[in-house]
Structure 1
């Protein structure tokens, strides 16, 4: 009887252990499934990705399986790629969906708007790839400036071809006309004068192209020294006096005296000459062009103000581009090449300064060269 009781107790203990083990196993499986469920529903990105996204200068975005943005870099926000925790552009969403389906990374260039409501367009170099098993990583670089520079380069090549073709074609035609009019002295004289004018124009364009190329070189200022601004203004005004007098345009100079800047006097005279010539070119006969000098807080400003036709607001950012003309027909009639203001910009930049423009259509324009005083600039390295 005792043996039977002991056996029953042992059996009961064994059964209890088995039941306990089973319950523990069930609990363990449930816990593991719970961990997996938490991992599936968690919005946390993999370790270290947060810090990488925050450090990116370009755009970086992490997208979850529901296409919600769980992390975006400051660059992505600045480009307007993310709004209300979602990607703004359908093109980007399509790339994300494709990567999620195929698992293969994608690289593309896209042309999209900046932000959900913006009119400005940006060019993006985009790469999309998986990030772990759940997330998609989208990286984008802004290539807008590269596209703009490429467009400027194409315009430059097209414009220079056109500008050179016009006088070269005219010279060729005039040479033929001279040959056929050899027995008519009056015609020969007329054609010869026009031939001289076109050859001068061709030479002027070529010289300005050479000058612009030299200004873009690293050693543009090989002979920098203190320059008397009063003398600089006097020389530039004198160079334009004959043209101004012919159109009864008054050139008036004034402002602070005794200012000095540090640089190449010949280049600075060329820059100021171009500004004054440009002011005369776009001013009506009998008007006035002012040249004023202001010296404040280590900066010397030379402003050239006209009473001309003015520049439309949407063209103000382009006036310093090579071959850009606000009024192409008038520029060509007066012999303008479209390089003068571009030369001014590069001269001023090489001297450590900048140039600003204010204009109102029908009222006139003011171009202001800003340069460091000689005392401030002499210790600085001046270069392109």
Structure 2
């Protein structure tokens, strides 16, 4: 939409400006320089509009000389290591425009920060061309997330479905009862895995959409107790102890009980899953100023430093093979992040490989929230 608006504005300006100047080509590096050129009022008005656009705009005359560059374009091309790349692309596309062809290219900049620019050049009716520079980083990243999400969902569902199909075919021709029972148990495990993935996807979708009343008083002591109760069977099988001492401080926040239990359950389950036999998972609550801080700490395998920035992404796994072994879907921490965000809080993690992990959730207390 911005591109279309910029193109229409420049077309209008080019007709007025070039007709009034007898088609002379004047280099105008920025809008401030226009005042010295005796530019017609209607042209000056259009230039100011173009200069206010968040989209970068560069106008080139029919002799290849630059006529105008707005502030957004100047900011982009003024960045270190970016100017040469963008100028090369513009020059290449302007050559196409000179023979009446539209052209566009995407430029991926490694950063940091990583950026993606969409450069387009269109011929103008009075000669010359307009180049637009659009920072599409956010849109590009969303597309990447969407692509990864679809690929991961497909994989997570296709794997157990394929396994169930193979197991069913094997059972069909099998006569040994003991083997049939083993295969049936395996089918049940795979179907539960598929069901768990679907349940977590639905839960994440529901939490992302919101809609729940987040104003009810919720005691985090009760939330933790329920989450631990859910995790006890797993902890018993793993040989892991869970320690929690009820906080005597103010631990009530405004929120949704179901969402909060879901978040804390995911953290406690993960702590148990990635702890060695004989390990200890500690859950604690402390009031700091007008916030309530909930911590879940384990003595497990820890998280590599390189993965700490990505662990809250959907389907991200530090080690896929390890997650498969523990039955992880890679959605749990994404659920945690969304729940905490919904409640106006923040989540942080401290971890080192081989030394365990500590997840810290901080919420505004019922007295501190507005």
Does 1:308 find its partner at 2:306? no
Render the CA deviation track for 1:149-191: whole Å, top value 9, x for unaligned. 1122122222112211222222233333444444x33323323
Query: How far apart, in 2, do the equivalents of 1:165 and 1:239 lie?
Result: 28
User: Which stretch has the larger CA shift, 327-336 or 130-139?
Assistant: 130-139
TM-superposed CA distance for 1:226, in Å, is 0.9
Does 1:228 find its partner at 2:228? no
The residue aligned with 1:172 is 165
The residue aligned with 1:91 is 88
Query: How far apart, in 1, do the equivalents of 2:179 and 2:139 lie?
Result: 52
The residue aligned with 2:115 is 122
User: Which stretch has the larger CA shift, 87-96 or 165-174?
Assistant: 87-96
The residue aligned with 2:10 is none
The residue aligned with 2:263 is 271
Query: How far apart, in 1, do the equivalents of 2:102 and 2:289 lie?
Result: 54
The answer to whether the 8 A contact 1:62-1:69 is kept is: yes
Does 1:248 find its partner at 2:239? yes
Query: How far apart, in 2, do the equivalents of 1:42 and 1:227 lie?
Result: 62
The DSSP-based 3-state class of the residue aligned with 2:54 is coil
Query: How far apart, in 2, do the equivalents of 1:199 and 1:41 lie?
Result: 68
Query: How far apart, in 1, do the equivalents of 2:27 and 2:324 lie?
Result: 69
TM-superposed CA distance for 1:268, in Å, is 0.8
Question: Which TM-score applies when normalising by structure 1?
Answer: 0.73
Equivalent positions of 1:66-105 (< 5 A) are 73=71, 76-77=74-75, 79=76, 81-83=77-79, 87-89=83-85, 90-95=87-92, 97-98=94-95, 101=98
User: Which stretch has the larger CA shift, 118-127 or 291-300?
Assistant: 118-127
The residue aligned with 2:309 is 317
Does 1:293 find its partner at 2:290? no
Render the CA deviation track for 1:132-154: whole Å, top value 9, x for unaligned. 99997643221122122112212
Query: How far apart, in 2, do the equivalents of 1:50 and 1:257 lie?
Result: 61
Specify whether residues 147 and 275 from structure 1 end up closer, same or farther in structure 2 by C-alpha distance, changes over 3 A only.
same
Question: Which TM-score applies when normalising by structure 2?
Answer: 0.75
Query: How far apart, in 2, do the equivalents of 1:213 and 1:42 lie?
Result: 51
Does 1:334 find its partner at 2:332? no
Query: How far apart, in 2, do the equivalents of 1:370 and 1:42 lie?
Result: 53
The count of aligned residue pairs is 334
The residue aligned with 2:6 is none
Unmatched 5+ stretches in structure 2: 1-20
TM-superposed CA distance for 1:82, in Å, is 1.7
TM-superposed CA distance for 1:63, in Å, is 7.5
TM-superposed CA distance for 1:106, in Å, is 5.0
Render the CA deviation track for 1:317-376: whole Å, top value 9, x for unaligned. 321222211110011111111111122222222223332233333333222222222234
The residue aligned with 1:238 is 229
TM-superposed CA distance for 1:271, in Å, is 0.8
The residue aligned with 2:153 is 160
- Which one has the largest radius of gyration? 1
The DSSP-based 3-state class of the residue aligned with 1:366 is strand
Unmatched 5+ stretches in structure 1: 1-34, 380-384
The residue aligned with 1:31 is none
Two-structure CA RMSD over aligned residues (Å): 3.6
Specify whether residues 335 and 42 from structure 1 end up closer, same or farther in structure 2 by C-alpha distance, changes over 3 A only.
closer
